[in-house]
Chains A and B, each alone.
Chain A
Amino acid sequence: MFRNQYDTDVTTWSPAGRLFQVEYAMEAVKQGSAAIGLRSKTHIVLGCVNKANSELSSHQKKIFKVDDHIGVAIAGLTADGRVLSRYMRNECINYSFTYESPLPVGRLVVQLADKAQVCTQRSWKRPYGVGLLVAGLDESGAHLYYNCPSGNYFEYQAFAIGSRSQAAKTYLERKFENFTDASRDDLVKDALMAIRETLQGETLKSSVCTIAVVGVGEPFHILDQGTVQQMIDAFEIVGEQEGPDAAAGQEASAEPEQGAGAGEGVAPMDI
């Protein structure tokens, strides 16, 4: 990105009214490996791509259970993500202890956003370099939120973050109208297909991705590799056609890249 004289401090505005450090933090999110989320009226599915440093190492954990009814998928500086997950777990458990009731996800998201905002307005801090897809259940149903390093948060029907997420977003944009009434299994299939988009030709197998589900009557949990592989096999057998719920025909396996993160090289801390 562009180096200029207004980007040293998070507390320095540029003449155009931008905080470059915050924008650079959002860049860090784009460099992380992809995470996606989608929701129906009753369930939310989170998925992420597992990237390992080398063949010898294991991949980093990018999906965290925050409470029985809330889970989060991160992209960017996983260390920052871990710290924020711990904060979220604390808030949930404190609320549960005081009120014997689950913390509404909408309130947790606002608290998280306010926490991120603080780091954009202190000269001795830096913004968190991680984007969070927060999935949770509320009195008003299933919710999916995206929390930005800038301190903003948005609610989504479906979203993707991280590198090559644009491919997944394009897929989700085509299908999202069906999501509200989709069944839980169809939702998981759509998540897997969205992840496949980000892999750009690499084979989709359960070792390369992680899927987690939360829904009404189903506490947040990460699906085990066997189950995920079974689901992949189920729709791979149908060939390049899409799963039973969708109307559209062929699956375009080589989606053209559209303005995703700059280059393939990933900085060592940003998986």
Chain B
Amino acid sequence: MNFTVSKQPENCLLGPESDSQRTLYPYVTGTSVVALKYKDGILMAADMGGSYGSTLRYKNVERMKPIGKHSLLGASGEISDFQEILRYLDDLILYDNMWDDGNSLGPKEVHNYLTRVMYNRRNKFNPLWNSLVLGGVKKGEKYLGTVSMIGVNFEDNHVATGFGNHLARPILRQDWHENLSFEDGVKLLEKCMRVLLYRDRSAINKLQIAKITEEGVTISQPYSLKTYWEFSAFANPAQGAVGTW
């Protein structure tokens, strides 16, 4: 009789590592991050929710963090993986500072470093389950990029993760233009976040907006958006569609 316990089927191609060593599913997740370039730099918005499946378990999660002098990182997806990424970046910035030589890693360099990390993890079938938004300004040059958990990366004038891609990007495509003022940028982001709040079930009404300019990073205090639920279509939702609920 065979008493050995095998952790994987014998035809598994992944070798002797057991499955407990690699990420299979996310547990505590953050939802969309939305960001855009404006006149002086980058504006980024994310709510403060950490969902545990369908439960809105944590309501004070900061999903945007400054990186070094020139960059701001926002993340959706597994929160613990985001914290791991922050640790990697902490080491990276530390070694960069230790050179003490007048050179520093800008947002483009950090973005590409993250792309390498995400892609290499994906190749080992052990991904960091995040979609990242990296924005920053260095020497007057504004930079805004995104990396997914499978290593897909690109730059654009406005980016979003998760549901933001479907709900926020169309709004941004229509309303974004070069050299938005700070107030207009915030208004535009709030417009996107409001739609996400109405339509994304993992969104909560407690968000932060972060700004990064040549001077540095500011992350606002948490606040909530005004919502309106008295639309007549909501009052009698079945009116136009018999049989719906």
Q: Which residues of A contact B (CB under 8 A)?
A: 97-101, 104, 106-107, 110, 138-140
Contact across chains for A107 and B103 when beta carbons are under 8 A apart: yes
Is B211 on the interface with A (CB-CB < 8 A)?
Answer: no
Contact across chains for A138 and B103 when beta carbons are under 8 A apart: yes
With a cutoff of 8 Å between Cβ atoms, the chain B residues found around residue A107 in the complex are 99, 101, 103
Give A95's nearest chain B residue, CB to CB: B109
Contact across chains for B112 and A99 when beta carbons are under 8 A apart: yes
Alpha-carbon distance A97/B116, docked complex (angstroms): 9
Contact across chains for B112 and A106 when beta carbons are under 8 A apart: no
Min C-beta distance of A187 to chain B, whole Å: 23
With a cutoff of 8 Å between Cβ atoms, the chain A residues found around residue B63 in the complex are none
With a cutoff of 8 Å between Cβ atoms, the chain B residues found around residue A98 in the complex are 112-113, 116
Sample of 8 A–B contacts (CB below 8 Å): A97-B116, A98-B113, A99-B109, A99-B112, A100-B112, A106-B99, A138-B102, A140-B103
Give A106's nearest chain B residue, CB to CB: B101
The 3 closest A-B pairs by CB, nearest first: A99-B109, A100-B112, A104-B103
Is B106 on the interface with A (CB-CB < 8 A)?
Answer: yes
With a cutoff of 8 Å between Cβ atoms, the chain A residues found around residue B102 in the complex are 106, 138-140
Q: How many A-B residue contacts, CB cutoff 8 Å?
A: 33
Min C-beta distance of B145 to chain A, whole Å: 10
Which residues B110-138 have CB closer than 8 A to chain A?
Answer: 112-113, 116
With a cutoff of 8 Å between Cβ atoms, the chain B residues found around residue A97 in the complex are 116
With a cutoff of 8 Å between Cβ atoms, the chain A residues found around residue B106 in the complex are 101
Alpha-carbon distance A181/B207, docked complex (angstroms): 53
Alpha-carbon distance A98/B108, docked complex (angstroms): 11
Q: Which residues of B contact A (CB under 8 A)?
A: 99, 101-106, 108-109, 112-113, 116
Alpha-carbon distance A102/B65, docked complex (angstroms): 26
Contact across chains for A101 and B116 when beta carbons are under 8 A apart: no
Instruction: Among A99, A101, A138, find the residue whose CB has the most chain B CB atoms closer than 10 A.
Output: A99
Known: A98-B113, A99-B108, A140-B102. 7 other contacts (CB 8 A): A98-B112, A99-B105, A99-B112, A101-B108, A110-B99, A139-B103, A139-B104
Give B116's nearest chain A residue, CB to CB: A98
Alpha-carbon distance A97/B117, docked complex (angstroms): 12
Contact across chains for B109 and A101 when beta carbons are under 8 A apart: yes
Alpha-carbon distance A5/B72, docked complex (angstroms): 60
With a cutoff of 8 Å between Cβ atoms, the chain A residues found around residue B103 in the complex are 104, 106-107, 138-140
With a cutoff of 8 Å between Cβ atoms, the chain A residues found around residue B101 in the complex are 104, 106-107
With a cutoff of 8 Å between Cβ atoms, the chain B residues found around residue A99 in the complex are 105, 108-109, 112-113
With a cutoff of 8 Å between Cβ atoms, the chain B residues found around residue A140 in the complex are 102-103
With a cutoff of 8 Å between Cβ atoms, the chain A residues found around residue B104 in the complex are 139
Alpha-carbon distance A101/B113, docked complex (angstroms): 10
Alpha-carbon distance A242/B128, docked complex (angstroms): 64
Give A97's nearest chain B residue, CB to CB: B116
Alpha-carbon distance A71/B112, docked complex (angstroms): 25
